[in-house]
Amino acid sequence: MDRAFYFIRGNMADPILEMRGMKKSFHGVKALSDVNLTVHTGQIHAIVGENGAGKSTLMKVLSGVYPYGEYEGEIRFLGQECRFKGIADSEHIGIIIIHQELALVPLLSITENIFLGNEQARYGVIDWNVSHVKTQALLDKVGLKESSNTLITNLGVGKQQLVEIAKALSKEVKLLILDEPTASLNETDSDALMELLLELKKQGIACILISHKLNEISKVADAITVLRDGVTVATLECKTQAVSEDTVIKHMVGREMADRYPKRTPHIGEKVFEIQNWKVHHAEHADRQIINGVDLHVNSGEIVGIAGLMGAGRTELAMSIFGRTYGQGISGKVLMHGQEIDTSTVQKSINHGIAYVTEDRKGYGLVLDETIAWNTTLANLDGVSHNMVIDEGREFGIAEEYRRKLNIRSPDVFARTVNLSGGNQQKVVLSKWLFSNPEVLILDEPTRGIDVGAKYEIYTIIAQLAAEGKCVLMISSEMPELLGMCDRIYVLNEGRFVAEFLAAEATQEKIMRSIVTSGVN
């Protein structure tokens, strides 16, 4: 069913922002070839595109991260040409960017974070009374009820996003740029953030929203600009037409995507991987049980999903299995082919054929400053070494093989992973674990922050692994993804499985019903 975006629109004033003929290259590789963008006052303007399309590069040009002289093209803000030398210049005129990785100091208070670098001082002395009063007024605007003295480390990610927006309001923001603001938020926090953007719009604040979540864009966007390969391919005015998701996707990937998931005929074999009566206590609070006696199994050639709300314990379960990298007081059995195995360390888990693709590819999955080749062989150095010495020729050959096999888009395997798009970084993480030749692959949010085109490629890789007889355990917050990829789905709620469904009988409604009626308090 082709679902459309429907909106109620107001009149937009003259453009607050115009970017014309934007071009930007990195070491001869064009990131932006010809991008044009117009944003109006009080407009929410979404920018979408596959990973590597140029979205973040364009915003870094606009916010002064890439200063004038490092790009070609013209930026006009409120009718005046802008040539920013740095972020301070763009912020000075009211352009504020909030990156996906929030720039808050955890052990400082909300007040200290909001006015960091913009201290409310008289005669060189910070006036804390004024600072707290102003902070409280800003928190009221964004709907955050916490005290201004609350430390950032005590706030969830959703509330930290609101602090970032309050910080932007303190700088008299006129154009707010949000880069994947809900990538780490649950549905409730995401909805609250979208409502706040609509409220800011009523106050005349323009917003550029970069997101892969088309359902969120459908709720708030007045216009959608689609980038592909560093070029503007379409700008869709939502106030004059109903724009369907399929239309947006077609512009993004340059082709129709009738099927979001690859077709596969499962060939499920014998039971390979199993956990029995698995219990895990909180990593810091030993009296809190996070996983409460769960049993699970995966057969060869099978893709098994784990569904559940945020906080259900999905990641904690996966990490506790893989080398006990989370939790304390862990008990229960892990079995391979019916025999109990020791997974008490990461190396022992790898030796037994278990691999874990973390949900945090930047923090734990990759060494970003190192090359594709370096990262690809990291989990299996024995496979590219002789007498404890790395064979660089073999390392290059292995990395190049996986670069071609997984279609990693880069000039060569010597490119640093920090310069790759999110989808290509995820393929490098997969390469690393595939080279370790696992029997069991645990995937934790494998497509988080990845566009629809790159998602399909990741899904195809997962399907191929299952076809080769691998056991795949897939954790995802996106229920359509689980329903589209998995042969069987466990539902986890507050540390225990409350339901199990075969793919043929599973629906989003059944999964949610099993969660809300599970009777766990």
The residue type found at 435 is F
Which residue in 210, 127, 196 sits closest to 168, CA to CA?
196
Q: In whole angstroms, what is the distance from residue 463 CA to residue 472 CA?
A: 9
Specify the DSSP element, H or E, that contains 126: strand 125-126
Q: What percent of the chain has pLDDT over 90?
A: 49
Model pLDDT for residues 454-494, shown as the tens digit of each residue? 788 889 999 999 999 999 999 998 788 899 999 999 999 88
Lowest-confidence region among 120-124, 143-147, 190-194, 449-453: 449-453
Which pLDDT band holds residue 11 (cuts at 50, 70, 90)?
very low
Task: Tell me the DSSP string of 35-104.
Answer: EEEEEETT-EEEEE--TTSSHHHHHHHHTTSS-TTSSEEEEEETTEEE--SSHHHHHHTTEEEE-SS---
Tokens of 331: 């008990």
Which pLDDT band holds residue 3 (cuts at 50, 70, 90)?
very low
- Report yes or no: 283 and 506 within 8 Å, Cβ to Cβ: no
Model pLDDT for residues 65-83, shown as the tens digit of each residue? 999 999 999 999 999 999 9
The residue type found at 171 is K
The arithmetic mean of pLDDT across residues 354-358, rounded, is 92
Helices (H), 357-475: 372-376, 392-405, 422-435, 452-467
* pLDDT score for 520: 41
Model pLDDT for residues 225-250, shown as the tens digit of each residue? 999 888 999 999 887 777 888 788 77
* pLDDT score for 269: 95
The arithmetic mean of pLDDT across residues 121-134, rounded, is 89
Model pLDDT for residues 400-448, shown as the tens digit of each residue? 998 988 888 888 999 999 888 878 888 899 899 888 889 999 999 888 7
* pLDDT score for 64: 93
Q: Is the per-residue pLDDT at 323 higher than 90?
A: yes
Q: What is the mean pLDDT of the chain?
A: 87
Which pLDDT band holds residue 184 (cuts at 50, 70, 90)?
low
Helices (H), 106-262: 110-114, 128-142, 157-170, 187-202, 214-220, 245-253
* pLDDT score for 149: 93
Which pLDDT band holds residue 51 (cuts at 50, 70, 90)?
low
The arithmetic mean of pLDDT across residues 357-370, rounded, is 85
Q: Is the per-residue pLDDT at 5 higher than 60?
A: no
- Name, of 164-173, 198-207, 271-280, 384-393, the range with top average pLDDT: 271-280
Specify the DSSP element, H or E, that contains 516: helix 508-516
* pLDDT score for 454: 77
Q: In whole angstroms, what is the distance from residue 221 CA to residue 232 CA?
A: 17
Specify the DSSP element, H or E, that contains 443: strand 440-444
Eight-state DSSP code of residue 258: S
* pLDDT score for 7: 33
The arithmetic mean of pLDDT across residues 8-33, rounded, is 77
Model pLDDT for residues 308-319, shown as the tens digit of each residue? 876 789 999 999
- Report yes or no: 231 and 24 within 8 Å, Cβ to Cβ: no
* pLDDT score for 256: 57
- Output 268 or 184, whichever has higher pLDDT: 268
Q: Is the per-residue pLDDT at 14 higher than 70?
A: yes
Q: In whole angstroms, what is the distance from residue 465 CA to residue 301 CA?
A: 8
Q: Is the per-residue pLDDT at 95 higher than 90?
A: yes
Domains in the chain with CATH codes: 1-94+174-258 (3.40.50.300), 102-172 (no CATH), 262-353+439-521 (3.40.50.300), 367-437 (no CATH)
The arithmetic mean of pLDDT across residues 356-369, rounded, is 85
- Backbone dihedral angles phi then psi of residue 45, each to the nearest 5 degrees: -115, 115
Eight-state DSSP code of residue 244: E
Q: In whole angstroms, what is the distance from residue 427 CA to residue 414 CA?
A: 15
Q: In whole angstroms, what is the distance from residue 250 CA to residue 269 CA?
A: 37
Q: In whole angstroms, what is the distance from residue 512 CA to residue 483 CA?
A: 13
Which residue in 51, 85, 81, 52 sits closest to 66, CA to CA?
85
Q: In terms of C-beta distances under 8 Å and separation of at least 24 residues, what long-range contacts does 364-371 make, across chains too?
A: 365/425, 365/429, 365/432, 366/417, 366/425, 366/428, 366/429, 367/417, 368/416, 368/417, 368/418, 369/416, 369/418, 370/416, 370/417, 371/399, 371/413, 371/414, 371/415, 371/416, 371/417
- Output 153 or 253, whichever has higher pLDDT: 153
* pLDDT score for 319: 94
Q: In whole angstroms, what is the distance from residue 464 CA to residue 270 CA?
A: 18
* pLDDT score for 158: 80
Q: What percent of the chain has pLDDT over 70?
A: 94
* pLDDT score for 74: 95
Task: Tell me the DSSP string of 192-213.
Answer: HHHHHHHHHHHTT-EEEEE-S-
Distances (CA, A) of 291 to 282, 294, 314, 320: 9, 7, 9, 9
Strand, coil or helix: what is 283? coil
The Cβ of residue 243 has, within 10 Å, a number of other Cβ atoms equal to 23
- Rounded (5°) CA angle 60-63-64: 85
Specify the DSSP element, H or E, that contains 485: helix 479-485
**pTM for this one?**
0.61
* pLDDT score for 485: 94
Model pLDDT for residues 143-163, shown as the tens digit of each residue? 888 999 999 999 887 888 889
